Structure 1
Amino acid sequence: MRAIRVEQHGGPEVMDVADIPEPVPGPGQALVKVAVAGVNYMDVGARQVGGPGWAPPFLLGVEGAGEVVALGEGAATADGPEGLAVGDRVAWFYHPGSYAQLAAIPVTSLVRVPDGVDDETAAAVMMQGLTANHFTTETYAVRPGDTAVVHAAAGGVGRLLTQMVKARGGSVIGLVSREDKAPVAKEAGADHVLVWSGGGFEDRVRELTGGEGAHVVYDGSGTATFRSSQLALRPHGVHAYYGPFMGVPSFAVTDLPNSILLSYPMVQHHVRTPEALRRRSAEVFAMLAEGKIGVRVGGRYALAEAAAAHTDLESRRTTGKLLLIP
């Protein structure tokens, strides 16, 4: 089968379209034919600098959707009382090696895809949809009347965050890097859109909130925005700083302004158990079915074009979710 393999960290050029043996599902695993794989900034960071679990050589990708084509020992009964069956449509959250035609995945990492959700949508909402769900409930439980600042509001996570904040009765100040991205953020439901790069936006946020500041800032833009995100908050507001591959700033506790609360949510904490994965996924799929959220696909690429997908993502030219079609 073909898969995207990285032999050394570096730019998109290190992504090799490799022919490798087909995986064999072990105990408690399902062999899945990958229909769609999602592209994430996490993949870019893994390729560039690595981190725990990303020592070369490795296969890229962490999410996708597809069809079960074989089951390892015990896999038919490991996922709840009804088990999985060959032919089931499934999606997954955080399984390294998803940029491939086939993947052997623990059934505890799989959820069934409802009939009303197509493969592209399912693949697009696993990492980013479950991230946004966690951010708007546990990281900061958005309440009616709350104001949230959403960085990269035209991107995959940003659009879903915007929609989920609005679904919970909050208002959104969206930040986008270019003027042409503003309509995308508006279409997702942002009440105000600021075209801004880097820091310095805190004064505008305070103007838009009557001098109070935001209740929460969802900041995945890196160290350049770290200080301004905090200054844009009201006392006891929450700074949700995510995306460790975008850089982790050093600071003294006394640098935190206005009695704010700092959260550093990690992807492994979004769904810590198989039960949480099924419950959170069901919530996201229900929001899709009810029309509370929707996915904007910003680009579709063949597996062999994965390097081009990374180049486009890093350029910030894209909006919405990028997908690979193996």
Structure 2
Amino acid sequence: MPHAIRIHQAGGPEVLRWEEVVVPAPAAGEATVRHAAVGLNFIDVYHRTGLYPQIMPAGLGLEGAGVVEAVGEGVMDLQVGERVAYAGGPVGAYAEVRNIPAHRLLKLPDTISFETAAAMMLQGLTAAYLLRKTWRVQPGDAVLIHAAAGGVGLIACQWAKALGATVLGTVGSAAKGELAKAHGCDHVIDYSSENFSQRVREITGGEGVAVVYDGVGKDTFIGSLDSLRPMGMMVAYGNASGPVPPLDLLLLSQKGSLFVTRPTLMNYTAKRADLEALGAELFEMVGSGRVRIEVNQRYALKDAELAHRDLEARRTTGSTILLP
């Protein structure tokens, strides 16, 4: 029987269990995928801890890449043996084999490996909607990307640079700063030793940035608002340091008639056409070499507990994959 990581209660990494699971034949509209690689993302921690509640017992994981083993009734555009990848759910990617709605799968170009695909789908599609939809970055824009050496950060820095933006990024160490610079970040700010909003003002000549992409949350939110130019946009797309407290909307007018949004990949890819369009942009950027995907950590899928501990301790950079 195939195995999967399951949780029976919310909690720390110790709640992750490697268990045998039954994978039935795919239902109508589904496909069975045998994973070659699975992605690790911070949202997996939110599901594990209960910040994003699930019905128990539950799986984890929102992205993977592999081969179609079977298709259910009504699935016309996928064939057994095709290479596919996906991101964004439903939850359950931490598995050797799984069933998934066929409309969530994208056919994987031959130029992109399974490991690269598993490392880039969630983070890459996130970068795609952030840079091309939420705030459409234009040449000359100054943008601030938090956690610039993280998975989304390294992709977003390269992509924003390719679009002609001036890229500012925050990091937590000198080593991570060098990594961000090597991936398109023009100005690196070490938030462990610098006031990042003050540095943003210095770098931009007092103007501030057009947009802040903030996956950190509570610890950076107010500083992010203070980094924006008038009518700039604060894009809060994650909560790595905890949820942002309630916000007095009057603060947005006081700081320059600012915009704030809390987007999700699922909203931006709910329609098949939008998923395909963002996927095509991502595959083109990676296939052309303008965005390099850094797989800096690999763990056996059964060792997901260790992977979660390293992720939460900020011992990882770039992308991390789990191998069945």
The alignment's TM-score, normalised by the length of structure 2, stands at 0.96
Once the two structures are aligned, what percentage of the paired residues are identical?
44
**What does residue 66 of structure 1 align with?**
66
Q: Which residue of 1 aligns with 2:302?
A: 304
Aligned with 1:18: secondary structure?
strand
167-176 or 265-274: which moved more?
265-274
The question of 1:196 aligning with 2:194 is answered: no
Amino acid at match of 1:160: I
Q: Which runs of 5+ in 1 are unaligned?
A: 78-82
Q: How far does the alpha carbon of each residue in 1:243-294 deviate from its partner, in whole angstroms, 9 at most, with x for none?
A: 1563132121112211111111122122121121111111100111111101
Tell me the equivalent position of 1:159: 154
Give the Cα separation in 2 of the matches to 1:213 and 1:317: 31
The secondary structure found in structure 1 opposite 2:182 is helix
1:121 to partner: Cα distance: 1.0
> Runs of at least 4 residues of structure 1 off by over 2 A?
197-200
- 1:84 corresponds in structure 2 to 78
Cα shift at 1:198: 9.6
1:278 aligned partner: 276
Aligned residue for 1:288, secondary structure, equals: helix
Give ranges in structure 2 of 5+ residues lacking alignment: none
The match for 1:111 is: 106
Shift in CA distance, 12/198, structure 1 to aligned 2, threshold 3 Å: farther
Distance 1:198 1:47, change over 3 A: farther
1:10 aligns with 2:8: no
Change (3 A) 1:244 1:179: closer
The letter of the residue matching 1:206 is: R
Q: Is the 8 A contact 1:34 1:67 kept in 2?
A: yes
Q: Counterparts of 1:91-110 in structure 2 under 5 Å?
A: 91-95=85-89, 96-110=91-105
Do the aligned partners of 2:125 and 2:265 also contact (CA within 8 Å) in 1?
Answer: no
Question: Residue 210 of structure 1: CA displacement?
Answer: 0.7
**Equivalent pair of 1:199/1:224 in contact (CA under 8 Å):** no
TM-score by length of 1: 0.95
Which of 310, 314, 324 is equivalent to 1:316? 314
The Cα RMSD (Å) is 1.3
Instruction: Tell me by how many angstroms 1:180 deviates.
Output: 1.4
* Residue 37 (structure 2) aligns with: 36
Whether the 8 Å contact between 2:129 and 2:265 is mirrored in structure 1 is no
SS state of the match for residue 166, structure 1? helix
How many residues end up aligned between the 2 structures? 319
SS at match of 1:276: helix
User: Residue 185 of structure 2 aligns to which amino acid in structure 1?
Assistant: A
Provide, for residues 54-95 of structure 1, a one-character-per-residue CA deviation record: whole Å limited to 9, x for no partner: 2221011110000001111112x1xxxxx1100000001222
What SS does the corresponding residue of 2:200 show, helix, strand or coil?
helix
